[in-house]
């Protein structure tokens, strides 16, 4: 389960049970920081937390309790650039300036944060959330701090940032982010001045479908789930397609027909499919069924020579093989099932994130994507 899914589950429970809470959101970063804009952390009245924004350099607990008591939304800046903080041990050494928006869960605005997270996480629909992170200085009421506007691909926008003109201008920019995970920030005319608005793309969770639920699929499901992938396992053998064998999986399917199983899973661009049946004819049938899908990653666990025969048997054309990873996994010298699973999941994350999965020390520029 992803961090965002855990946060949504906790938000849902808070609303259902009438529990107070507060949400801290990174809205602006200058320099280095542990998390980028759009990252969130949820606090409960019992000081239970979901998510993580830093390695410990932000004093958010008490401020979150204050937000719950007062019902007020506030913005606070944390500057970790001072060398003295690192020397005396009170800083993280990130050397960045981070602005955080802290708001009570029940801030009276609609849609609520829970309602904003539900389309991508529970309905599989991309959405874009726009939030006022700095109101106009001359007239803050014209675009209140924390006001929200939710944009989806099917229907009108929900909520308001404070005025029809502001909503329309932001909505135009927000719709260009539908289907992406980009986070941007811009200034828009409001109240005789400008309001700063953060616009973040919210996409459905990434999925991992593993065909073959043998012993080597166990660590693959576990590591995939720990990495935030929603895992589905498929096997034609009842003894292996047993949910008790795979507690990390969201779903375990018993399916004799590979084509039917692929149809039930309906892979999309954010889905990784891995064939690990170790049955040549079945692997070939699975690859053939996946050929016509938009799956973002298709891999086969096994030797290279076997994989080449499988690809030819399944009829994959040369122009469509950029999605194929056979044999699956990064070259980390993996030997054990756990090591192989780690190499495969790491490769999947890199592919679905459009990264090369190389050494961070060799990456030119920042390790996190900067907002444009």
Residue 55's pLDDT is: 57
Mean pLDDT rounded to a whole number for the chain: 89
Instruction: Give the three-state DSSP class for 59.
Output: coil
* DSSP-assigned letters across all residues of 275-323: E----HHHHHHHHHHHHTS--SEEEE-S-HHHHHHHHHHHT--GGGGGG
Q: Is the pTM of this model over 0.75?
A: yes
Residue 359's pLDDT is: 85
Backbone torsions φ then ψ of 10, nearest 5 degrees = -70, -40
Distance CA 43, CA 276 (A): 41
Residue 361's pLDDT is: 84
Q: Name 188's Cβ contacts closer than 8 Å, sequence gap at least 6.
A: 143, 166, 169, 170, 194, 195, 197
Residue 372's pLDDT is: 44
Residue 366's pLDDT is: 67
* DSSP-assigned letters across all residues of 105-145: S--S-SS-HHHHHHHHHHS---EEEEEEEE--SS-GGGS-T
Model confidence pLDDT, tens digit, residues 73-101: 999 998 877 654 443 344 445 567 899 99
Determine which helix (DSSP H) or strand (DSSP E) holds 267, and give its type and residue range. Answer: none
Spans of the chain below 50 pLDDT: 84-92, 371-372
Q: 312: closest CA among 282, 278, 328, 288?
A: 288
Encoded tokens for 206: 């990434």
* DSSP-assigned letters across all residues of 164-204: HHHHHHHHHHHHTTTT---EEEEEEEETTEEEEEEEEEE-P
Q: 23: closest CA among 42, 8, 37, 47?
A: 42
Q: What angle do CA 331, 251, 322 make, to 5 degrees?
A: 35
Residue 118's pLDDT is: 94
Distance CA 339, CA 149 (A): 44
Residue 88's pLDDT is: 37
Distance CA 197, CA 133 (A): 6
Contact 98/31 with Cβ under 8 angstroms?
no
Residue 370's pLDDT is: 52
Instruction: Give the three-state DSSP class for 243.
Output: helix
Q: What ranges do the domains of the chain cover?
A: 3-104, 113-202, 207-352
Residue 86's pLDDT is: 43
Residue 69's pLDDT is: 95
Q: Which CATH number fits domain 207-352: 3.30.450.40, 3.40.50.720, 3.40.50.970, 3.40.50.150?
A: 3.40.50.720
Residue 95's pLDDT is: 66
Distance CA 203, CA 351 (A): 16
Residue 90's pLDDT is: 40
């Amino acid at each position: 389960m992803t961090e965002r899914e855990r946060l949504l589950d906790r938000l849902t429970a808070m609303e259902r049970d009438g529990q107070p809470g507060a949400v801290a959101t990174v809205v602006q970063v200058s320099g280095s920081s542990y998390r980028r804009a759009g990252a969130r952390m949820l606090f409960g009245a019992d000081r239970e937390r979901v998510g993580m924004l830093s390695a410990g350099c932000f004093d958010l607990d008490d401020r979150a309790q204050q937000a719950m008591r007062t019902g007020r939304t506030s913005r606070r800046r944390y500057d970790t650039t001072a060398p003295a903080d690192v020397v005396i041990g009170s800083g993280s050494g990130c050397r960045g300036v981070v602005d955080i928006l802290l708001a009570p869960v029940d801030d009276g605005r609609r849609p609520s944060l829970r309602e904003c997270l539900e389309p991508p996480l529970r309905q599989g629909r991309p959405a874009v959330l726009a939030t006022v992170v700095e109101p106009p200085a001359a007239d803050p009421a014209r675009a209140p701090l924390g006001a929200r506007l939710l944009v989806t691909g099917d229907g009108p926008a929900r909520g308001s940032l404070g005025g029809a003109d502001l909503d329309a201008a932001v909505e135009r920019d927000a719709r260009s982010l539908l289907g992406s995970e980009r986070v941007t920030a811009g200034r828009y005319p409001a109240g005789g001045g400008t309001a700063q608005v953060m616009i973040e793309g919210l996409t459905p969770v990434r999925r991992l479908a593993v065909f073959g639920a043998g012993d080597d699929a166990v660590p693959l499901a576990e590591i995939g789930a720990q990495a935030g992938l929603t895992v589905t396992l498929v096997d034609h053998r009842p003894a292996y397609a047993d949910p008790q064998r795979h507690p990390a999986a969201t779903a375990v399917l018993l399916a004799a027909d590979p084509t039917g199983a692929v149809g039930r899973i309906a892979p999309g661009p954010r889905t990784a499919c891995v064939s690990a049946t170790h049955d040549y004819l079945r692997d070939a049938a699975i690859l053939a069924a996946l050929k016509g899908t938009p799956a973002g990653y298709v891999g086969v666990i096994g030797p290279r020579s076997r994989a080449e025969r499988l690809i030819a048997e399944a009829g994959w054309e040369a122009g469509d093989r950029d999605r194929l990873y056979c044999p699956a996994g990064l070259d980390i010298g993996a030997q054990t099932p756990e090591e192989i699973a780690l190499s495969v999941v790491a490769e999947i994350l890199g592919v679905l994130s459009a990264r090369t999965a190389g050494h961070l020390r060799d990456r030119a520029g920042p390790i996190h994507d900067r907002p444009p």
